[in-house]
Amino acid sequence: MRWFGSAQKKPGWMCVNLASDRVDVSHVLIADRGRPEVTLCESYRKDGDDLSTLKRLARVLNLDRYRCTTLLRPGQYQMVQVEAPSVPDAELKAAVRWRVKDVIDFPIDKAMLDTLKIPGSGGARNQQLFVVAARNDTVAGTVKPFNEAEIPLEVVDVPEMAQRNLATCLEQDGRAVVLLSFDAHGGLLTFSCDGELYQHRRMDVSRDTLSNAQGEMRQQFYERIVLELQRSLDHFDRQFGQLVVGKIVLAPVPDAPGLPEYLASNLSLPVEPLDLAQVLECAQVPELREAARQQQCLQLIGAAMRAEGAA
């Protein structure tokens, strides 16, 4: 979500994510034709604290020449759906604060908000919005080391939007696409069409959970994933009956053997495994041929796939 201003920079977006032991960086060029090009996808070991590492990378990568973004982590924000207030656009954010004050789990006067309209929810139905809410001090703490390192952070984004960006490469014939991914925080399911996010859902099944599960326990987790998918598909059909879901795409889960086949045999929709090397131009980043690296960098790359003027 765009919480900061922008300036003229080099083409494409650079996503810079701080992890506990490293900094992940990706740059993607969105071409008018052809596949988006990943020109950089690298992880740098931290040398000192966040600030000293960011200062070093700012010099090495000339980060002041790029539009830079970073991602909040699950638990640092809430993304909720509300009915849009009947007010002019200029007054929308102020009015939305009253709508979400009893929904989010921290005081509204300590919150920073951004909104995104849900397509197809106007007309007979009242317009619906996604509202992303984060504590002021969380956003300030995220931005602070970038500012001190003189890295021009223009956008603080969230994984749901990063996954939506990536899903634009998977859409076909105006049909909705369901993208499911797993990381250390759990599963993330997004429904999108024509570059717009319609629905999202979190699953409490993480990458490590799937990796460590064996035998009957693994089967139970697979069954839970199918159930969550079925519920989400039913909800999407009730809310957006005018849209047809074309397929479910499963992001790489290298430590969950047989999961794509299990989903395909228990769901009525086609299930396709995702290979980033088939939908993105990755010649400059050969390590993205590996499923484990794709899984690690999926949302990092998606965040760098922002279109100009995107929400």
Q: Where are the domains of the chain?
A: 1-76+135-169+275-311, 78-134, 171-273
Please check the confidence at residue 172 and state whether its pLDDT lies above 80.
Answer: yes
pLDDT in tens, 70-105: 999 999 999 999 999 989 888 888 899 999 999 999
The pLDDT of residue 52 is above 90 = yes
Q: Is 47's pLDDT higher than 80?
A: yes
The CATH code of domain 171-273 reads 3.30.420.40
Return the pLDDT at 120. Answer: 76
Question: pLDDT band at 5, cuts 50/70/90?
Answer: very low
* Mean pLDDT, residues 127-151 taken together: 96
- Summarize pLDDT for 105-132 with one digit per residue, the tens: 999 999 999 999 999 765 546 789 999 9
Mean pLDDT of 168-192: 95
CATH topology of domain 78-134: Dna Ligase; domain 1 (3.30.1490)
Q: Please compute the mean of the pLDDT values over residues 247-273 and round it to a whole number.
A: 96
Identify the architecture of domain 1-76+135-169+275-311 in CATH. Answer: 2-Layer Sandwich (3.30)
Q: Is residue 146 over pLDDT 60?
A: yes
- Asked, colleague to colleague, whether 1-76+135-169+275-311 and 171-273 share their fold, the answer is yes
Would you state the pLDDT for residue 53? Answer: 96
Is 136:83 a contact under the CB 8 Å cutoff? no
The predicted structure's pLDDT at residue 89: 85
Q: What is the pLDDT of residue 121?
A: 60
Per residue in 201-247, pLDDT (tens digit) is: 999 999 999 999 999 999 999 999 999 999 999 999 999 998 999 99
